[in-house]
Homo-oligomer: A and B are copies of this chain.
Amino acid sequence: MSLLVTGSIGIDTVKTPFGVSENCLGGSSVYFSMAASLFTPVRFVGVVGSDCPFDLARIFAGRNVDLAGLEVRPQSKTFRWTGLYHNNMDDRTTEALELNVLAEAPPKVPETFKDSEFVFLANTAPALQLELLEQIEEPVFVAADTMNCWIEGHLNDLKTLLKKIDCLIINEDEAGMLAAEHNLIRAAQKILNMGIDAVIIKKGESGSILCHANGGMFILPAYPACDVKDPTGAGDSFAGGFMGYLAQSGNTQFETLKTAIACGTVVASFTIADFSLDGLTAISKNDIDQRLKTLRNVTKF
């Protein structure tokens, strides 16, 4: 089934203990699409300014990413982010942030994308996520990401959004904040009570937890990665692998959600092995399958 993503395209500068990558390609929809297109075609919706130095058509060459929803605004500047990762690679500090075009009106969803069945709303203001979602006619399964600033400052919009989507993908600190609850299992239950079917809580190098309104639960460790150079995009790659597998499968049964989470986990393990998209561009479906097999093997008892 068709899969649409809306999210950011960024010019990133990333500093980790392993080096610095200046002005490299980043952004949630970029990581998502590179990951999801390993499984299924992707419809891409995003916006850049005239300063964007990246040729996305070339970058996604061979990956079945439809860029009909890529908008270039001549009078605007592209989103920029500079981040510093600390030694444990799970904590990071934002050193500089220029929203630029992301502070303007969101991009339009092209007519040809309006029948999309699977939709991922990457992190942005919940009001914009709602505005984007309203442009999709009859989505089958909608997942969204959010972050601390929207939970703190736009909670009502976020709660409205949660009633209109199927799955929230969120990290553990954000889950604790949204639910006002330290215990993650209780926090997940409280978030389900806000009106969604599924919540996935990401725990970085400790994996993720899926809790479903049908009572189902799934807990998966992260892939045991020796090589962690740059965690940027891990969460969006996870979401891309998850949604890509779901759209490819064409169903959202609980067992399918579980395998989809394993796919997201494995794709993210490739993302973090190198800077920017370099860990993702060279891999094939076969590499994914190998790591899925390993992940199944090291978690089975």
Contacts and interface: CB of A to CB of B under 8 A. Distances in A.
Contacts of A262: 301
B88 A218 contact: no
A242 to B, nearest CB: 13
A186 B296 CA distance: 20
Contacts of A184: 205
Contacts of A209: 221, 224
A160 interface: no
Given A182-B88, A206-B203, A301 B224 contact: no
Nearest to A209: B224
A128 interface: no
Interface string A202-233: 01011101000000011111001110100000
A207 to B, nearest CB: 7
Contacts of A298: 217-219
A165 to B, nearest CB: 23
Interface of A is mostly: mixed
A97 interface: no
Contacts of A219: 221, 224, 298-299
A300 interface: yes
A258 interface: yes
A15 B225 CA distance: 36
A183 interface: yes
Contacts of A253: none
A284 interface: no
Interface string A164-197: 0000000000000000001111100000000000
Contacts of A127: none
A259 interface: yes
Given A206-B206, A258-B301, A301-B218, A87 B225 contact: no
Interface string A120-159: 0000000000000000000000000000000000000000
A58 B289 CA distance: 55
A241 B62 CA distance: 52
Interface of A: 87-89, 182-186, 203, 205-207, 209, 217-221, 224-226, 228, 255, 258-259, 261-262, 296, 298-301
17 contacts: A88-B182, A89-B182, A183-B226, A185-B224, A185-B225, A186-B226, A203-B206, A209-B221, A217-B224, A217-B298, A219-B298, A220-B301, A221-B221, A261-B301, A262-B301, A299-B299, A300-B300
